[in-house]
Amino acid sequence: MKDSFWYYSLNKSPLTPPAWVFSVVWPILYFMMALSFLFYVKDGFSSDKIFPLIIFFIQLLLNFLWSPVYFGLHNIEFAFLIILVLIIMVAINIVLFYKKSKVAAFFLIPYFLWLIFAGYLNYEIVALN
């Protein structure tokens, strides 16, 4: 972590897991996101798959944007806004993927649930600091 002193100095929720949990959970979630994408496109691309894929890549961009905003800029309020939009985008993505591939949609559900938990943790840091 770039500025771990800053992060460890924050007041956090009592439900905040140890740091090692994040380094275990996120690779698994990224793998499941990749599987979701692969299952969604396995039958090829078609015009009705474009919008759900746009949503998928927007949520991925938001996911990658969160860390620099949170840890780099220390802007926990804007990071919280990003994660709220991210949760909504992933929910939409699950619904849209489900129409073409139930398996692709199901692979996003653990990610969605983790984002809700991460959003709670982010909210608690905003509220407690």
Encoding tokens for residue 34?
């990749």
Whole-number Cα distances in Å, 46 to 43, 57, 84: 9, 16, 30
Instruction: Give the whole-number percent of the chain exceeding pLDDT 70.
Output: 98
Cβ–Cβ under 8 Å, residues 46 and 73: no
Distance CA 64, CA 82 (A): 10
Mean of pLDDT over the chain = 96
pTM of the model: 0.93
Whole-number Cα distances in Å, 88 to 46, 92, 97: 24, 6, 14
Distance CA 87, CA 110 (A): 12
Locate all alpha helices (DSSP H) within the chain, ordered by sequence: 4-9, 19-41, 47-67, 76-98, 102-128
Q: What residue segments make up the domains of the chain, in order of their start?
A: 63-129
Q: How far out from the chain centre does Cα 103 lie?
A: 19
- Residue pLDDT, tens place only, 24-65: 999 999 999 999 999 999 988 899 999 999 999 999 999 999
- Residue pLDDT, tens place only, 64-84: 999 999 999 999 999 999 999
Encoding tokens for residue 80?
């919280």
